[in-house]
Chains A and B, each alone.
Chain A
Amino acid sequence: MIRMEGVRKWLGGKLVLDGIDLEIRRGETLVIVGPSGTGKSVTLRHMVRLMTPDDGRVWIENEVVSEAHGTALERLRRRFGVLFQSGALLEWLTVGENVALRLREEGRLTEAEIERRVMEKLDLVGLGPDCNKFPSEISGGMRKRAALARAIVHQPEIILYDEPTSGLDPVSSRTIDALIKTMNRELGVTSVVVTHDLHSALSIGNRIAMLFNGHIVAMAGPDDFIRSEQPVVRQFLEAQFITRKGAWEH
């Protein structure tokens, strides 16, 4: 569904992505893990053309998103929901207005229909009662969930999550993991999740890719991933106390 072919990207005089080849299949959840600052967010940004590759291409089915412009780009972006690392809610709008924003700006639906959809999504993420609060009045975890509601309000086919659980307490993290799994199972969306939290990676991913030094150094299902012999992967796993023996159940 999404295919990256030899994507290279220089940022700040540094080669951040050095030939990324990645294929994401329809309906799967691909998790990209890796230490901070290796370019996981940059990889996601290429998929919605917030960044343009210096070399290589990004395909969405049979369209090249990395060269799209204007209405073609708008149409491609409509298929995506993106949950940004910081939530990126607009501070001067309430949670409800934030979620409704894109529908109101598009102006295709009636106000009643918009309200209904917004409440539906907010209930899904458990924020129905907080719909009239401002982003500054709610906790970090709630903000992430509000941003998630905003990302899915237009029923996208593909959802990109940038560190959905970072900075959250373990309970909220598992709530978000459960939401991601629900979304996948019940709505059949394709998901790409960027995280450095291996616990959530192993529990939600159909496949896990490890990004290191601008390359995908490992790509496997969760069971094979924790048995990987590659030193980089081992080091990353052991840093989070995941050993070969205690296979992660999900």
Chain B
Amino acid sequence: MITREPRYQLPARGPAGHLGRHMLALVGNSGRAVIMLGEAIWCLRYVFTRRSRQAIVTQMYVGGIKSLGVITVVAAFTGMILALQTGLEMRRFGQEVYIGAAVMVSMLREMGPFMTGLILAASVGAAIAAQMGTMTVSEEIAALEVMSINPVRFLVMPRLVALAVMTPLLSFYSCILGVIGGGVVGLTQLGVPWGAYVDNATRFVENKDLYVGMLKAFLFGILIVTIACHQGFSATQGAVGVGNATRRTVIVCFLSILICGYIVTRVFYV
């Protein structure tokens, strides 16, 4: 049951009491978010019905394709910055050709998924939270429930599938653009020929880097949708509540993307 009833607690006493409340709230909210995610995964059995397919395609467009512009700019500049920073250092040792490997590996393993995740969290995640929050406070979620239309199947599942597919694709796209951006900087600022750059970039990279990066992006997509929908559905008190839910979504998404990124790196590279 999505329509959450407010949980009222007596006011906390003292700093320890406040800390305790926050910890309890954190654990409780995480638990509820995971339960909602589980429900959404269970709803994947409807993924091939015609109406779900339409909803998923719409969400892929809204959540993915519309973010292409900003991701293009961010990814290209990330690659350029990486190339310039490492290139300037390496030039002191005459090793500037190694910017190829540096840019490629860091984009694939970390920067591509990370930048994509942050951008999607701030744009698509915030938009989802605001929409779900508005629907919650204006009783639209309650109306869906009364009509026996499960909001998790109707609203969460299509967004989950869309971002789980689009985030890795966008992340891959941002890697490519980052590498191109790095190459351009290498060519124009550091005097690294294009051929040497590409050769260096592809020599040191492994398939594993690609797979782990894609896995990260996939996890980020799921995190964003889960957090945004959960926050939206818990919104209370009209417009103020929607604003709070949106703000919390962006913060919690950023934190969990960082933490999740670290954990995945730790698991696969140590």
Cβ-neighbour of B143 out of A11, A12, A78, A82 (below 8 A): A82
Contacts A10-B8, A51-B5, A105-B154; A86 near B138 (Cβ below 8 A): yes
Question: What residues on B are CB-neighbors of A50 within 8 Å?
Answer: 3, 142, 145-146
Complex alpha-carbon distance, A77 and B144, angstroms:
11
Interface size counted on chain A using CB atoms at 8 A = 25
B134 to chain A: closest residue by CB? A91
Cβ-neighbour of B6 out of A12, A74, A80 (below 8 A): A12
Residue among A85, A88, A90, A106 with max Cβ neighbours from chain B (10 Å): A88
Shortest C-beta distance, B155 to chain A (Å), equals 10
Complex alpha-carbon distance, A11 and B3, angstroms:
14
Whether the Cβ atoms of B142 and A88 lie closer than 8 Å is: yes
A246 at the interface (CB under 8 A from B): no
Cβ-neighbour of A101 out of B3, B142, B149 (below 8 A): B149
Whether the Cβ atoms of A101 and B140 lie closer than 8 Å is: no
Contacts A11-B5, A86-B139, A90-B140; A80 near B51 (Cβ below 8 A): no
Question: What residues on A are CB-neighbors of B6 within 8 Å?
Answer: 11-12
Complex alpha-carbon distance, A85 and B138, angstroms:
9
Cβ-neighbour of B148 out of A89, A90, A102 (below 8 A): A102
Whether the Cβ atoms of B51 and A88 lie closer than 8 Å is: no
B270 at the interface (CB under 8 A from A): no
Shortest C-beta distance, A105 to chain B (Å), equals 5
Interface residue ranges of B51-84 to A (CB < 8 Å): 51
Whether the Cβ atoms of B149 and A84 lie closer than 8 Å is: no
Question: What residues on A are CB-neighbors of B146 within 8 Å?
Answer: 48, 50, 77, 80, 82
Complex alpha-carbon distance, A101 and B6, angstroms:
29
Whether the Cβ atoms of B8 and A12 lie closer than 8 Å is: yes
Question: What residues on A are CB-neighbors of B148 within 8 Å?
Answer: 74, 77-78, 102, 106
Q: Mark A51-92, 1 if CB is under 8 A from B, else 0.
A: 110000000000000000000001001101010111011100
A170 at the interface (CB under 8 A from B): no
Question: What residues on A are CB-neighbors of B8 within 8 Å?
Answer: 10-13
Q: Mark B140-163, 1 if CB is under 8 A from A, else 0.
A: 101101111100001000000000
Q: Mark A95-109, 1 if CB is under 8 A from B, else 0.
A: 000000110111000
Interface of B is mostly: loop
Question: What residues on B are CB-neighbors of A45 within 8 Å?
Answer: 142
Residue among B139, B140, B142, B145 with max Cβ neighbours from chain A (10 Å): B139
Shortest C-beta distance, B236 to chain A (Å), equals 9
Question: What residues on B are CB-neighbors of A90 within 8 Å?
Answer: 135, 140
B145 to chain A: closest residue by CB? A50
A106 to chain B: closest residue by CB? B148
Shortest C-beta distance, A36 to chain B (Å), equals 15
Whether the Cβ atoms of A84 and B143 lie closer than 8 Å is: yes
Question: What residues on A are CB-neighbors of B149 within 8 Å?
Answer: 101-102, 105
Complex alpha-carbon distance, A104 and B146, angstroms:
15
Complex alpha-carbon distance, A106 and B144, angstroms:
12
The 6 tightest CB contacts between A and B, nearest first, are A88-B143, A102-B147, A88-B139, A84-B139, A74-B148, A13-B8
Shortest C-beta distance, A48 to chain B (Å), equals 5
Complex alpha-carbon distance, A187 and B5, angstroms:
34
Q: Mark B1-13, 1 if CB is under 8 A from A, else 0.
A: 0010110101000
Residue among B5, B135, B145, B148 with max Cβ neighbours from chain A (10 Å): B148
Question: What residues on A are CB-neighbors of B139 within 8 Å?
Answer: 84-86, 88
Given contacts A11-B6, A88-B138, 13 further A-B contacts (CB under 8 A): A11-B8, A12-B6, A48-B146, A50-B145, A50-B146, A77-B145, A77-B146, A84-B139, A88-B139, A102-B147, A104-B51, A105-B149, A106-B148
Complex alpha-carbon distance, A78 and B148, angstroms:
8
Complex alpha-carbon distance, A237 and B6, angstroms:
33
Interface residue ranges of A173-187 to B (CB < 8 Å): none
Complex alpha-carbon distance, A78 and B51, angstroms:
21
Interface residue ranges of A1-41 to B (CB < 8 Å): 10-13
Interface residue ranges of B110-144 to A (CB < 8 Å): 135, 138-140, 142-143
Shortest C-beta distance, A76 to chain B (Å), equals 10
